Structure 1
Amino acid sequence: MSDDHAVRIGVYPGTFDPVTLGHMDIIRRGAKLVDRLVIGVTTNPSKSPMFTLDERMAMVKRECAGIDTEIHVVAFDALLMTFAEREGASVIIRGLRAVADFEYEYQMAGMNQQINAAIETVFLMADVSLQPIASRLVKEIALFGGPIHKFVSPQVCEDVAERVERIGRKGS
């Protein structure tokens, strides 16, 4: 990379509990738009995670191995814009699955722009075959003994199965 080319850094935030094929689709495609992609793994007080922060970070790192772009997996517990500024990002990458996502994301992008107009939000539509996938639903299906292999990688499927075995299935 020449000295006159600024490194374009993107941030892709999420809880990744667990990381799904939909997340990985956005990560692979988002990585093509930047020189360095920082995947911000966060806590969300409104969600009860199945995996610890460290487990989720390790899972994301493992799943991203082999992607050509420089990828950093970083924990954060701050305002997204504060985190993006700290990482030197010029772009925030967000995935969209449905119209309902758009309304929320549009509002968030507007608020973030008010905080720092120098950081652009880029929306990527999830691949059509991956649009219905949500971590929340993957966990729910797994907890009730349903198959999740179409929604996560084989290794994540194993991780979730081991966790469900440890915490116990729901239903009878």
Structure 2
Amino acid sequence: MKQKAIYPGTFDPFTNGHLDVLERALNIFEEVIVVIAENCQKHALFTIEEREAMTREVTCDYPGVTVEVLHRGLLADYARQVGARAIVRGVRQVKDFEYEFQMSLLNRQLYPEVTTVFLMPNVKYTYVASSIIKEVAMLGGDVSKFVHPCVLEMMHQKREEQN
């Protein structure tokens, strides 16, 4: 049986830090579904359709990766529905871990068969957060070291639209 995991997030935008965590997950799991979700507590720069398109573009050369959108519902229910046995979460710092630890315990209550796997990105991405990347890019800063070229182009387009 294939070992399947889901890697959820808002991915607004999908950064090289996200890609690093995905690559690490692929060293463990045969199949990883990148699940793009809405988060009403975050102000998205990109629509969910744009985030799906950029994530598909960035991950298109990775065998075993699929990209899906979760429009509604609980992540634990989605994991059960697709037969995932693990939820992959990237953890950059202690603050991330505190939140993710709570979520993993809740998901375990909702779907006892699922395990949350915490993966740390390469140290060069520990300070890379989508929110910071968005802010720097929208102010005209160079974020090319932190995102795939297609994401960079989409960010330039967003900046032009907003100016």
Supply the distance in 1 between the matched residues of 2:53 and 2:42 (Cα, whole angstroms): 19
Supply the distance in 1 between the matched residues of 2:148 and 2:108 (Cα, whole angstroms): 34
Which residue is equivalent to 1:56? Answer: 51
RMSD: 1.0
Of 66, 69, 72, 1:72 maps to 66
Q: CA deviation at 1:127?
A: 0.8
Supply the distance in 1 between the matched residues of 2:49 and 2:122 (Cα, whole angstroms): 28
Q: Could you tell me which amino acid in structure 2 is paired with residue 72 of structure 1?
A: T
Which residue is equivalent to 1:29? Answer: 24
Which residue is equivalent to 1:128? Answer: 123
Supply the distance in 1 between the matched residues of 2:152 and 2:126 (Cα, whole angstroms): 18
**Larger of the two Rg values belongs to structure:** 1
Q: Could you tell me which amino acid in structure 1 is paired with residue 79 of structure 2?
A: A
1:86 equivalenced with 2:81 (yes/no): yes
Which residue is equivalent to 1:3? Answer: none
Supply the distance in 2 between the matched residues of 1:39 and 1:143 (Cα, whole angstroms): 25
Q: Could you tell me which amino acid in structure 1 is paired with residue 104 of structure 2?
A: A
TM-score (norm 1): 0.91
Tell me if the contact between 2:57 and 2:150 (Cα under 8 Å) persists in the aligned partners: no
Give per-residue Cα distances to partners, 1:60-102, cap 9 Å, x unaligned. Answer: 111002113x211110022110111111100100000001001
Matches within 5 A, 1:81-120: 81-120=76-115
Of 149, 161, 164, 2:156 maps to 161
Q: CA deviation at 1:128?
A: 0.2
Q: CA deviation at 1:7?
A: 1.5
Which residue is equivalent to 2:142? Answer: 147
Supply the distance in 1 between the matched residues of 2:52 and 2:82 (Cα, whole angstroms): 17
Q: CA deviation at 1:32?
A: 2.0
Mark the runs of 5 or more structure 2 residues left unpaired by the alignment.
none
Q: Could you tell me which amino acid in structure 2 is paired with residue 54 of structure 1?
A: E
Supply the distance in 1 between the matched residues of 2:13 and 2:75 (Cα, whole angstroms): 20
Paired-residue identity, %: 37
